[in-house]
Amino acid sequence: MCIVMMPSRSAASSSSRPHHDAPRVAHRRLTLAPMVRSLPPRGTGPEAGAARADHGPTHRTHSRRSPRRRSVAAFPVLPVLPALPLLPALLVLRVLCVLLVLGTLAYSAWLLELPLDTGLDPVQSYVSELAATDQRLSGFFRTTDLVAGALVLAAALIALGTLERRFWAVTGWVALAVFGAATAVDSRLPLSCAPTADAECVAREDAGLVPGTHVAHAVSSSLAMAGAVTAVVALTVAARRYGWWPPLARTGPVLVALELAATAWTLVAVAAFEAERGHWALGAAQRAQLLLVAVWLLVLARSLARGAEGRRR
Q: For residue range 96-147, what is the model confidence (pLDDT) as tens digits?
A: 999 999 999 999 999 999 998 888 999 999 999 999 999 999 999 999 999 9
The per-residue pLDDT for 300 is 96
Question: CA 141, CA 284: separation in Å to the nearest integer?
Answer: 18
* Percent of the chain scoring above 70 in pLDDT: 70
Q: For residue range 8-48, what is the model confidence (pLDDT) as tens digits?
A: 444 444 444 444 444 444 444 434 333 433 444 444 444 44
Q: What is the mean pLDDT of residues 286-297?
A: 97
Question: CA 160, CA 227: separation in Å to the nearest integer?
Answer: 15
Question: CA 120, CA 138: separation in Å to the nearest integer?
Answer: 12
Q: Give the pTM.
A: 0.72
Let me know: does 289 contact 232? Beta carbons within 8 Å: no
Q: For residue range 206-253, what is the model confidence (pLDDT) as tens digits?
A: 888 999 999 999 999 999 999 999 999 999 999 999 998 999 999 999
pLDDT band at 165 (very low <50, low <70, confident <90, very high): confident
Question: CA 164, CA 162: separation in Å to the nearest integer?
Answer: 7
Q: Residue 256 above 50 pLDDT?
A: yes
The per-residue pLDDT for 263 is 97
Question: CA 159, CA 170: separation in Å to the nearest integer?
Answer: 9
The average confidence (pLDDT) of the chain is: 79
- Which of 145, 110, 146, 150 has its CA nearest to residue 130? 110
Cα dihedral sign, 48-53-56-59: positive
Q: For residue range 133-147, what is the model confidence (pLDDT) as tens digits?
A: 999 999 999 999 999
Let me know: does 309 contact 75? Beta carbons within 8 Å: no
Q: Residue 289 above 60 pLDDT?
A: yes
Question: CA 113, CA 13: separation in Å to the nearest integer?
Answer: 117
Q: Residue 290 above 50 pLDDT?
A: yes
- Which of 196, 202, 213 has its CA nearest to residue 118? 196
pLDDT band at 312 (very low <50, low <70, confident <90, very high): very low
The per-residue pLDDT for 90 is 80
Least confident of 66-80, 154-168, 260-274: 66-80
pLDDT band at 277 (very low <50, low <70, confident <90, very high): confident
Q: Residue 299 above 50 pLDDT?
A: yes
Give the CB-side neighbour count of residue 292, counting CA atoms within 13 A: 26
Residue 254 phi/psi, 5-degree rounding, is: -65, -45
pLDDT band at 80 (very low <50, low <70, confident <90, very high): low
The per-residue pLDDT for 84 is 53
Q: Residue 66 above 60 pLDDT?
A: no
- Which of 297, 302, 299, 304 has its CA nearest to residue 251? 299
Q: What is the mean pLDDT of residues 71-94?
A: 56
Least confident of 67-76, 123-132, 282-291: 67-76
Helices 167-187/138-162 angle, 10° precision:
160
Question: CA 43, CA 284: separation in Å to the nearest integer?
Answer: 70
